[in-house]
Structure 1
């Protein structure tokens, strides 16, 4: 029986230049894809920023196309998941129109799956990718920032506001945290996640760290939460989610929870902590007031897809 990868290579799309091959990804390729992503990020930013477990939650293997050179080395890839896609081409291979071909492939795949638009997140340092998307009719949707804070000393944690108690995340908090964070994110995210999907990105990840994931309670009701990860090899803490119920905002709850998380990471020997936010949340000013600074930024580009 002919494999999917062999069929893709045998068909050889017309945009693929001489000296390259392509195939569909399989589960055996996950480590190789992570190495490719790490090499791409290191070339742009001086260090990899996507952990293996994060990649596993983002990657859609049935919708991933890999491009390799004649020596079999991966040099580019693209995956499509719903209305979102990720496309990367290693420096040194960008003059061969691999990006254009992969973008056409992504749009075709998304369109055939019934999507009426496609969005891609691109580092603001990747000028070649930005030019490709602009030429293809994509427009800016939102800006994302990776923020960081150095933790050379154990930080002081402010007291929570009156009527609020703070404690670390514990078993049994999962459903309340899901409800809280999805309610908060409903204000700007395109769709609500199912519990299973949310859990894969948060509490079921191997790197989820309850000790650095404080929650705020008003009586028995969870009104705030910070969910954190301890990613191996990064040497830093990472905050995955920050949420406060709408009727408890502007009371300093998020500030207290974040400082609790920062202190927990400092006690684990982490010299810094990072988190992502974007312009749709309106939270950037909060993080800046805490002393966080922007390490790098990305932009989400989007365009409508014309149906066949």
Structure 2
């Protein structure tokens, strides 16, 4: 356990802590964004990451009354969240120290952490510890006063919603599409827990595109319980069908499905490594806010330059 400020105690996270952690993260999101964007399924999938050992790689901090005050986990990436009512007391620094120490202990060469650009205190903290920017991420929004129009698909292209049994094909498609940006391919079980088996997964709002009977594009959406609008979790198009309007067509289908469900906006995240920002802007989406993924070389403590 790290040395925590007076009045706080920490312990490893257990599976039973998911609701409490979700409440803590939700409080952070309300304070920062004015809305909750995380669901319990996402927290559970995060804690089930392969290689993450709950006893050694997670930390939940409580105050004197036993209320969750902060949490952290580390497994190549790290996350640190401090409840708004407990910020400014040194918890963030203590948990960041713990994450780095645990990463070094496990032989991790570099540590990655994503920080909202709208949280200047958190940005200043990671920069002061030698973290450098790796990629920039943007949350984009599509406002829907009226039902979005959906163009006719090109000849030979069929679009339909996700159905039971589509999981393995969508897994292959999305993992192939993200091979160039992610550190490793996820096995089906891990991927499914983050996507199609997540409790918030919305199959009716997740259109798939087929050409010649083969899956060539997919949009996977979530119906987040605390979110008034729709949310697109993943957009993937097979390499040989890119730049043909497939992503824009699928997004329009997803937007219309959310609108018919009573939603009047839809959001998604993208980052600078994908070069997809322009695609979403051409669909009519606008940047709502941004975040930066920072990285630190733990071998000598120096920041790793972005190069992007």
Contact 2:37 2:224 in 1 (8 A): no
For 2:267, the equivalent position in structure 1 comes to: 274
Contact 1:24 1:66 in 2 (8 A): yes
Contact 1:160 1:252 in 2 (8 A): no
2:62 equivalent to 1:68: yes
For 1:176, the equivalent position in structure 2 comes to: 169
For 1:3, the equivalent position in structure 2 comes to: none
1:162 shift after superposition: 2.7
> Where do 1:43-58 residues align within 5 Å?
43-58=31-46
2:283 equivalent to 1:290: yes
Contact 2:39 2:200 in 1 (8 A): no
Aligned residues: 295
- Per mean C-alpha deviation after superposition, the further-off stretch among 53-62 and 140-149 is 53-62
Q: Name the CA shift for 1:271/1:108 in 2 (closer, same or farther; >3 Å).
A: same
For 2:110, the equivalent position in structure 1 comes to: 117
- Per mean C-alpha deviation after superposition, the further-off stretch among 49-58 and 122-131 is 49-58
SS of structure 1 residue aligned to 2:181: coil
Contact 1:78 1:102 in 2 (8 A): yes
For 1:237, the equivalent position in structure 2 comes to: 230
Quote the Cα distance in structure 1 between the aligned partners of 2:213 and 2:80. 44
1:267 shift after superposition: 0.9
For 1:37, the equivalent position in structure 2 comes to: 25
Quote the Cα distance in structure 2 between the aligned partners of 1:225 and 1:28. 33
Say which of 136, 139, 158 aligns to 2:132.
139
Gaps of 5+ in 2: 49-53, 301-308
For 1:79, the equivalent position in structure 2 comes to: 73
1:92 shift after superposition: 4.5
1:34 shift after superposition: 0.7
- CA RMSD of the aligned region, Å? 1.7
Quote the Cα distance in structure 1 between the aligned partners of 2:151 and 2:200. 27
- Per mean C-alpha deviation after superposition, the further-off stretch among 33-42 and 228-237 is 228-237
Quote the Cα distance in structure 2 between the aligned partners of 1:150 and 1:29. 35
Say which of 18, 34, 44 aligns to 2:6.
18
Quote the Cα distance in structure 2 between the aligned partners of 1:110 and 1:260. 42
SS of structure 1 residue aligned to 2:249: helix
Say which of 45, 69, 93 aligns to 2:86.
93
Which structure has more relative contact order (CA 8 Å, sep 6+)? It is: 2
Contact 1:161 1:252 in 2 (8 A): no
> 1:50-92: CA deviations, max 9, x gaps?
1221122123544221222212222211111x20110022334
Contact 1:161 1:253 in 2 (8 A): no
2:147 equivalent to 1:154: yes
Quote the Cα distance in structure 2 between the aligned partners of 1:173 and 1:17. 49
Contact 2:35 2:227 in 1 (8 A): no
For 1:102, the equivalent position in structure 2 comes to: 95
After TM superposition, the score normalised by the length of structure 1 is: 0.91
> 1:100-128: CA deviations, max 9, x gaps?
21111111212222211111111111111
Gaps of 5+ in 1: 1-7
> 1:13-57: CA deviations, max 9, x gaps?
43x121222222222221111111011111111122112211221
Quote the Cα distance in structure 2 between the aligned partners of 1:26 and 1:198. 21
After TM superposition, the score normalised by the length of structure 2 is: 0.91
- Per mean C-alpha deviation after superposition, the further-off stretch among 62-71 and 260-269 is 62-71
